[in-house]
Amino acid sequence: MISEKLATALNEQVNAELYSAYLYLSMASYFESLSLKGFAHWMHIQAREEQDHALKLYHYINERGGRANFNAIAAPPENWDSPLEVFEQVYQHEQVVTGLIHALVDLAFAEKDHAMYHFLQWYVAEQVEEEATADEIVQQVRMAGDSAAAILMLDRELGQRAK
């Protein structure tokens, strides 16, 4: 049985993961408005991953005898000045999510909930990947600079992302 304190903390993370999905869908819409379909495709897949992360938490809460609850999801930004600004925000956002996951791990450890501590290790590893991927794309977009040709090449590459 999961404690109420831990269930509440996990429910807050469900909300954070769903916000991430909203954020990435908003970013996808921005890229579609620029006719950067590959960038948009990458964001669509990222949004689905965030929904999957939320569902994984949802199922875990319920499996442990808690109840998943849903709160309002804040509206994400809708406009950015450039593809670089978008991916810099992705990287910063993933760093925030990493902090949230680490706080959950610390809480599970403090509460001596070994099952939750073990469960969260998947998220710890996932965040390493999320940050590394976002940082790599930031670096690539920076290298592209103002070159429309380079941005279009990157757009094609990001369009190849598979689920």
Per-residue pLDDT tens over the stretch 48-97: 999 999 999 999 999 999 999 999 999 999 999 999 999 999 999 999 99
- Asked whether the predicted pLDDT for residue 130 surpasses 90, the reply is yes
Mean pLDDT value across residues 141-153: 96
The whole-angstrom separation of Cα 99 and Cα 136 is: 20
Domains and CATH numbers, the chain: 4-158 (1.20.1260.10)
Confidence (pTM): 0.95
| The pair of three-digit structure tokens given for residue 107, joined into one six-digit string | 């809480």
Query: pLDDT at position 163, please?
Result: 81
Q: How many CB atoms lie within 10 A of CB 82?
A: 12
**Burial, 87: exposed, middle or buried (Cβ in 10 Å; 0-12, 13-18, 19+)?**
buried
Q: How far is CA 131 from CA 79, 88, 119, in A?
A: 22, 11, 20
| The pair of three-digit structure tokens given for residue 116, joined into one six-digit string | 């939750």
